[in-house]
Protein backbone atom coordinates (compact mmCIF):
# COMPACT_ATOMS: atom_id res chain seq x y z
CA UNK A 1 0.00 0.00 0.00
CA UNK A 2 2.87 2.38 0.76
CA UNK A 3 4.49 1.78 -2.62
CA UNK A 4 1.19 2.52 -4.36
CA UNK A 5 0.72 5.67 -2.29
CA UNK A 6 4.20 6.92 -3.14
CA UNK A 7 3.71 6.22 -6.85
CA UNK A 8 0.31 7.93 -7.03
CA UNK A 9 1.52 10.88 -4.96
CA UNK A 10 4.57 11.43 -7.17
CA UNK A 11 2.53 11.11 -10.38
CA UNK A 12 -0.26 13.45 -9.27
CA UNK A 13 1.28 15.98 -6.90
CA UNK A 14 0.46 19.51 -8.11
CA UNK A 15 -2.01 18.27 -10.71
CA UNK A 16 -5.24 20.13 -11.25
CA UNK A 17 -7.76 17.78 -9.66
CA UNK A 18 -10.25 17.74 -6.76
CA UNK A 19 -7.65 16.20 -4.43
CA UNK A 20 -5.69 18.72 -2.40
CA UNK A 21 -2.35 16.89 -2.29
CA UNK A 22 -0.68 19.68 -0.33
CA UNK A 23 -2.87 19.12 2.75
CA UNK A 24 -0.45 16.47 4.00
CA UNK A 25 3.15 15.63 3.34
CA UNK A 26 3.94 12.30 1.78
CA UNK A 27 5.60 11.22 5.04
CA UNK A 28 2.42 11.94 6.99
CA UNK A 29 0.30 9.96 4.55
CA UNK A 30 2.74 7.05 4.76
CA UNK A 31 2.42 7.09 8.56
CA UNK A 32 -1.38 6.97 8.27
CA UNK A 33 -1.25 4.03 5.83
CA UNK A 34 1.24 2.19 8.04
CA UNK A 35 -0.95 2.73 11.14
CA UNK A 36 -3.49 0.23 9.82
CA UNK A 37 -2.59 -3.36 10.76
CA UNK A 38 -3.42 -4.64 7.28
CA UNK A 39 -4.32 -3.33 3.85
CA UNK A 40 -7.80 -4.70 4.46
CA UNK A 41 -8.18 -2.42 7.49
CA UNK A 42 -7.35 0.65 5.45
CA UNK A 43 -9.67 -0.45 2.64
CA UNK A 44 -12.51 -1.07 5.12
CA UNK A 45 -12.06 2.37 6.67
CA UNK A 46 -12.04 4.12 3.28
CA UNK A 47 -15.06 2.13 2.05
CA UNK A 48 -16.97 3.01 5.21
CA UNK A 49 -16.10 6.70 4.87
CA UNK A 50 -16.98 6.70 1.16
CA UNK A 51 -20.48 5.36 1.81
CA UNK A 52 -21.47 8.68 3.31
CA UNK A 53 -18.80 11.17 2.25
CA UNK A 54 -20.88 14.12 3.37
CA UNK A 55 -21.00 12.77 6.93
CA UNK A 56 -17.33 11.81 7.05
CA UNK A 57 -15.96 14.91 5.33
CA UNK A 58 -16.71 17.10 8.33
CA UNK A 59 -14.01 16.89 10.96
CA UNK A 60 -11.82 14.54 9.00
CA UNK A 61 -8.89 14.14 8.87
CA UNK A 62 -8.12 16.41 11.83
CA UNK A 63 -10.02 14.03 14.12
CA UNK A 64 -8.14 10.98 12.89
CA UNK A 65 -5.46 9.92 15.37
CA UNK A 66 -2.75 7.36 14.87
CA UNK A 67 0.32 6.27 16.75
CA UNK A 68 3.57 6.51 14.87
CA UNK A 69 6.29 4.12 15.94
Q: Which of 29, 64, 31 is nearest to 49 (CA)?
A: 64
Taking the C-alpha atoms of residue 10 and residue 61, their distance in angstroms, rounded to an integer, is 21
Q: What is the pLDDT of residues 27-38, one digit of tens each?
A: 888 888 888 777
Residue 12 or 67, more confident = 12
Banded model confidence at residue 41, pLDDT cuts 50, 70, 90: confident
The answer to whether residues 14 and 21 touch, using CB atoms and an 8 Å cutoff, is yes
10: left (phi over 0), alpha (psi -120 to 50) or beta: alpha
Read off the pTM: 0.60
Amino acid sequence: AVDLLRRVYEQNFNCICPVNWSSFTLDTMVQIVEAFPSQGGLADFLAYAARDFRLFSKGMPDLCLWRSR
